[in-house]
Amino acid sequence: MTDKLLLILDKEARQTDAEGIWPARSIQALRDSGLMGLTLPADAGGGGAGMRQFAEAIEKIAAHCASTAMIYLMHVCGANMIAASSSPRRAELVKTMTAGKAVATLAFSEKGSRSHFWAPVSRASSNSGSTILNCEKSFVTSAGHADFYVVSTGAIGAKSPIDSTLYIVEKNAPGLESKGAWNGIGLRGNASGPMSIRNCHVDDNARLTNEAEGFKAMMEIVLPWFQIGSAAVSIGIAEAAFAGTVAHTTSARFEHLNESLASALARLARMRLAIDSSRAYLDHTLLRIEKGAPDAMLFVLGSKATAAEMALAGTDEAMRACGGAAFSRDLSVERNFRDARAASIMAPTTDALYDFIGKAVAGLPLF
């Protein structure tokens, strides 16, 4: 990752946050850098990188612009789902993404399913050999901006909420519509708005999974990339807040205020220890994945939870250490604080992850 790319991300981050705009110039810089194809197969022109290299890259992006990092995370999740599919269009779609000509994203969450993205309430139907999609998606990162949408919907003839199928729907497809602007507290540039998919006709080439096997793909393909990436984003945000706090604390004058200095230093110490602990957990998770350990998924679930909660606490420490300068938005620490709020309530939420992990360690079924 070049210094030029990071400078562009830094330059665009403040305006992206202040105006709540999708960071087109930052995304173009990612396209130009080749990072859009980082994790895609090498034989298709991609970088062939694994999760460790991906985590390192997205952490750096997040430290400079968390909105751009979240857009990139959803792209990687969608791109890897497309690359793992058996669609006859797979080679063509992957080649387009490795060339930086398309941004992918996920369209999973629905109004009825809320944070249980793996159980869509919508149902596909068929007519004259065509599949018809009708979905109301509640949060779609890069809504209206992405080129490829990986869409989940209940399978035709579904017998349970987790009988789903995944499809690719391309930008400007008839029936695909962005329904509202995003105005979040944090991650203000990721355009995570609602979308409607109404009477959208797709053929078999758009199907990314076998019928009713969407849940399996979401859990085995999409979720690991999302969890690892989310953890790295939280760590990147926390690192940025830590760096900002160090800079502010060491530039302040503390004559006759030894108690204030000691308090600020203690906050820095707690931040550093918490960040390092989350990074160690993520590193251990990656090791379990690389070794194919049977308990790898348990650590995958924990990686996002630990990092998300660390970033919440760490950016709170940063705000307290920097005081009025942060509260008045003179420092980027305030943006880090707001951006860090998202991970814990983004599906799967920290509460849902605690539930899954608790069930797993107690020997209970997860679903």
Domains, the chain, ranges and CATH?
A: 3-103 (1.10.540.10), 105-212 (2.40.110.10), 215-361 (1.20.140.10)
Average pLDDT over residues 84-103: 97
Q: How confident is the model at residue 9 (pLDDT cuts 50, 70, 90)?
A: very high
pLDDT at 88 over 70: yes
pLDDT tens digits, one per residue of 341-367: 999 999 999 999 999 999 999 999 988
One-letter amino acid identity for 267? R
**Residue predicted with more confidence, 291 or 181:** 291
pLDDT tens digits, one per residue of 140-189: 999 999 999 999 999 999 999 899 999 999 999 999 999 988 999 999 99
pLDDT tens digits, one per residue of 258-267: 556 788 899 9
pLDDT tens digits, one per residue of 269-278: 999 999 999 9
- End-to-end alpha carbon distance in the chain: 40
Q: How confident is the model at residue 253 (pLDDT cuts 50, 70, 90)?
A: low
Asked if residue 341 lies in contact with residue 66, where contact means CB atoms within 8 angstroms, the answer is no
Q: What does the angle CA 25 – CA 145 – CA 224 come to, to the nearest 5 degrees?
A: 95
What pLDDT is stored for residue 367 in this prediction? 85
Q: How confident is the model at residue 59 (pLDDT cuts 50, 70, 90)?
A: very high
Q: Enter the tokens of residue 45.
A: 């022109």
Distance from C-alpha of 105 to C-alpha of 60, rounded to nearest angstrom: 20
Q: How confident is the model at residue 114 (pLDDT cuts 50, 70, 90)?
A: confident
Distance from C-alpha of 286 to C-alpha of 50, rounded to nearest angstrom: 10
What pLDDT is stored for residue 291 in this prediction? 98
Distance from C-alpha of 68 to C-alpha of 22, rounded to nearest angstrom: 8
Per-position DSSP letters for 7-55, written without gaps between them: HHHHHHHHHHHHHT---HHHHHHHHHHTGGGTTS-GGGTS----HHHHH
What pLDDT is stored for residue 257 in this prediction? 56
Distance from C-alpha of 24 to C-alpha of 289, rounded to nearest angstrom: 33
Q: How confident is the model at residue 197 (pLDDT cuts 50, 70, 90)?
A: very high
Average pLDDT over residues 275-295: 99
Average pLDDT over residues 41-47: 94
pLDDT at 254 over 70: no
Distance from C-alpha of 117 to C-alpha of 367, rounded to nearest angstrom: 13
Asked if residue 78 lies in contact with residue 309, where contact means CB atoms within 8 angstroms, the answer is no
What pLDDT is stored for residue 252 in this prediction? 67
pLDDT at 336 over 70: yes
pLDDT tens digits, one per residue of 198-249: 999 999 999 999 999 999 999 999 999 999 999 999 999 999 999 999 999 8
One-letter amino acid identity for 308? A
Q: How confident is the model at residue 115 (pLDDT cuts 50, 70, 90)?
A: confident
Which residues 6+ apart lie within 8 Å of 311 measured at CB? 234, 235, 237, 238, 241, 340, 343
In Å, how far are 45, 114, 174, 176, 206 from 198, measured between CA atoms? 35, 19, 8, 7, 16
Q: Using DSSP bridges, classify how beta strands 104-107 and 148-154 pair: parallel, antiparallel or unpaired.
A: parallel
pLDDT tens digits, one per residue of 307-331: 999 999 999 999 999 999 999 888 9
User: Token pair 């398309």 is at which residue?
Assistant: 102
What pLDDT is stored for residue 255 in this prediction? 56
Per-position DSSP letters for 99-135, written without gaps between them: TT---EEEE--BTTTTT-TTS---B-EEETTEEEEEE
- Counting every residue written for the chain, the total comes to 367
In Å, how far are 214, 245, 301, 308, 310 from 208, measured between CA atoms? 8, 45, 24, 30, 35
- As a whole number of Å, the CA-based R_g of the chain is 21
Which residues 6+ apart lie within 8 Å of 352 measured at CB? 115, 116
